[in-house]
Amino acid sequence: QKEVEQDPGPLSVPEGAIVSLNCTYSNSAFQYFMWYRQYSRKGPELLMYTYSSGNKEDGRFTAQVDKSSKYISLFIRDSQPSDSATYLCAMNSGGYQKVTFGIGTKLQVIP
């Protein structure tokens, strides 16, 4: 079983739609959860960083963590064409430890 599983997509949605992106993980040691956005051939850009189970909101983005189910989600409200990118879930066991990434979900928002 892979440590972090993420559907690579692609996922196509119309502009203005609510986007739901998800990851599952198997390692119970993971305590910190991140979402990065990556444009083609660019570096990952940190969008959300969470620790506890529950929701964290930042503008149009909401990160959700369910540690009991080992399941994390990122919701994007009112999606825009500029949101078209690959979204990487990532996690680690804490502190300054290495981050383990999912494969990334490619999102296309169609005008």
Partner 1 sequence: EPEVTQTPSHQVTQMGQEVILRCVPISNHLYFYWYRQILGQKVEFLVSFYNNEISEKSEIFDDQFSVERPDGSNFTLKIRSTKLEDSAMYFCASSDGQGRYEQYFGPGTRLTVT
Check residue 30 for interaction with partner 1 (CB under 8 A). no
Check residue 35 for interaction with partner 1 (CB under 8 A). no
55: nearest Cα among 25, 77, 29, 84: 77
Please tell me whether residue 109 adopts helix, strand or coil conformation. strand
Check residue 59 for interaction with partner 1 (CB under 8 A). no
Place of tokens 């503008």: 59
Q: Which residue blocks in 21-89 are alpha helix, DSSP H?
A: none
Check residue 36 for interaction with partner 1 (CB under 8 A). yes
- Selected range binding partner 1 among 11-19, 43-51, 63-71, 76-84, rule: CB under 8 A: 43-51
Q: Are 106 and 40 in contact (CB under 8 A)?
A: no
Check residue 94 for interaction with partner 1 (CB under 8 A). yes
CB of 77 to partner 1, least distance (A): 23
Q: How far apart are CA 34 and CA 29, in angstroms?
A: 15
CB of 49 to partner 1, least distance (A): 5
Cα 58 from chain centroid (whole Å): 13
Check residue 29 for interaction with partner 1 (CB under 8 A). no
Chain contacts with partner 1 (rule: CB under 8 A) = 32, 34, 36, 41-46, 49, 88, 90, 94-104
